[in-house]
Amino acid sequence: MSLGSLSNTFKRAISISSSLLINDTWRTIEKCDVLFIKADGNSPQIASGAHYAPLSDSIRDLFSSWGLRTESVATPISRINPDLFYRKTTSLNRLYILSRLRDLPGALLLREWVVPGDAEISAWRSVIKQASPSLIIDIQPEWAICKAARDENVPIYDMQHGVITDTHPYYSDERNSNRPSESLPSGYLCWDEPSAEVLRAWASKKGVDVRVVGNPWFIRFMGEGPKTVFEPFGVPPAHDARPTIIISLQWGNSHCFSKRPLERFIDPSLEEVVLNSLEKYDWHLRFHPIQLIGPEKDPLRRYIKSIFGEDLYEKWMESSLLPLPLALSRADLHLTQNSTVTIEASWLGVRTGFVGGDVPKGYYHKEMEEGYASIIEGSPDVLLEWISETLSKGKAMPAMSHRNYDGFGELLTALGLSTNHNR
**Is the pLDDT reported for residue 230 higher than 90?**
no
3-class secondary structure per residue, 275-335: HHCCCCCEEEEECCHHHHHCCCHHHHHHHHHHHCCHHHHHHHHHHHCCCHHHHHHCCCEEE
Asked whether residue 342 is assigned to any structural domain, the reply reads yes
**Rounded mean pLDDT, 155-174:** 95
pTM: 0.91
Looking at the fold, whether 141 and 77 belong to one and the same domain comes out as yes
> In this model, does residue 381 exceed pLDDT 50?
yes
Q: What integer is the mean pLDDT of 36-62?
A: 88
Q: What is the structure's pLDDT at 113? A: 44
267 and 409 part of one domain:
no
366 occurs within a structural domain: yes
**Are residues 173 and 278 part of one domain?**
no
Label residue 214 left, alpha or beta by phi (over 0 means left) and psi (-120 to 50 means alpha). left
155 shares a domain with 37 = yes
pLDDT the model gives residue 287: 93
CATH code, 162: 3.40.50.11720
Say if 35 falls within a structural domain.
yes
Per the CB < 8 A criterion, the answer to whether 38 and 73 are in contact is: yes
Q: What is the mean pLDDT of residues 199-219?
A: 95
Tally of domains in the chain: 2
Is 228 inside a domain boundary? no
Same domain as 262, residue 189: no
Residue 246, phi then psi, degrees to nearest 5 = -100, 135
Higher per-residue pLDDT: 78 or 405: 405
Q: Is residue 26 part of a domain?
A: yes
Residues 126 and 252 in one domain: no
Measuring CA to CA, which residue among 135, 126, 121, 139 is closest to residue 183?
121
Q: What is the pLDDT of residue 262?
A: 62
Could you tell me if residue 423 is inside a domain?
no
Residues 358 and 247 in one domain: yes
| 353 close to 389: Cβ distance less than 8 angstroms | no
Q: What is the CATH number of the domain that holds 376?
A: 3.40.50.2000
Domain of 87? 17-223+404-414
- Looking at the structure, do residues 171 and 219 belong to the same domain, yes or no? yes
Contacts of 241 (CB under 8 A, 6+ apart): none
Are 250 and 205 contained in the same domain? no
d(CA 51, CA 53): 7
More confident residue, 6 or 66: 66
Higher pLDDT among residues 220 and 200, named by residue? 200
| Residues 180, 60 share a domain | yes
Residue at 3 is within a domain = no
Average pLDDT over residues 239-263: 76
| CB neighbour list of residue 217: distance below 8 Å, 6 or more residues apart | 54, 55, 58, 323, 324, 325
Instruction: Identify whether residues 141 and 192 lie together within a single domain.
Output: yes
What whole-number distance in Å separates Cα of residue 419 and Cα of residue 67?
6
Do 190 and 213 have their domain in common? yes
pLDDT tens, 87-109? 999 999 888 888 888 877 655 44
Residue 391 DSSP class = H
Kindly state whether residue 325 falls inside one of the protein's structural domains: yes
Closest to 102 in 3D by CA, of 140, 144, 139: 144
Distance CA 363, CA 414 (A): 32
pLDDT attached to residue 111? 41
